[in-house]
Amino acid sequence: MTDPVKEQLSACLDGELPEGELDLLLRQLQRDPQLRQSLGRYSLVGEAVRGQRPVCASEGFADRVAAAVAAESVAAETSGRPVRKVSSARVVEWLRPVAGMAIAAGVAAVAVISLRPAATIESAQMAATTETAGIESSEPASYTVPTNIDSSPGAAFVPAARLTNYVVAHSEFSSPLGRRTVLSGVLSDDDQNPNDDDIEVKVSGTPQSSNGGSAESQR
Partner 1 sequence: MMLARKLLFAVCCAVIVPAYASDPEARAWLERMSRALSTQSYDGRFIHRSPSRAESMRIIHRVDSKGRITERLVSLDGSGREIVRNENEVICYLPDKRLVLVEKRTDSNSLVSALPVYNDALESLYRIERSGRVIKALGRKTQIIEVQPRDQYRYGYRLWLDQETAMPLKSQLCDSNGNVIEQILFSELNLHDRIPADQLKASITGEGFRWLRQDDTVAPAMAKAVIGWNVARLPAGFRLTTMRMQIIAGSPTPVGHLVYSDGLASVSVFIEARGAQAAQLHGLAKVGAAFAFSRDLDGHQVTAVGEVPAATVEAIAAGVMRQTGQPEPAAPAPTAPAAASNPQQQPATR
Q: Determine which residue in the list 111, 121, 127, 128 makes contact with partner 1, applying CB under 8 A.
A: 111
Q: Which of 1, 24, 44, 71 binds partner 1 (CB under 8 A)?
A: 71
Residue partners of 157: CB distance under 8 A and separation at least 6: 66, 69, 70, 73, 103
| Residues binding partner 1: number (CB under 8 A) | 84
Burial label, 56 (beta-carbon count in 10 A; 0-12, 13-18, 19+): buried
Q: Counting contacts by CB under 8 A, is residue 86 touching partner 1?
A: no
Contact 88, 29 (CB under 8 A): no
* 175 forms part of the interface with partner 1 (CB under 8 A): yes
| Rounded distance between C-alpha atoms, residue 117 and residue 56, angstroms | 14
Which region among 1-9, 39-47, 84-92, 194-202 touches partner 1 (by CB under 8 A)? 194-202
Contact pattern from residue 17 through residue 56 relative to partner 1, giving x for each residue in contact according to CB under 8 A and a dash for the rest: ----------------------------------------
| Radius of gyration of the chain from its Cα atoms, rounded to whole angstroms | 21
Minimal distance in Å, beta carbon 20 to partner 1? 16
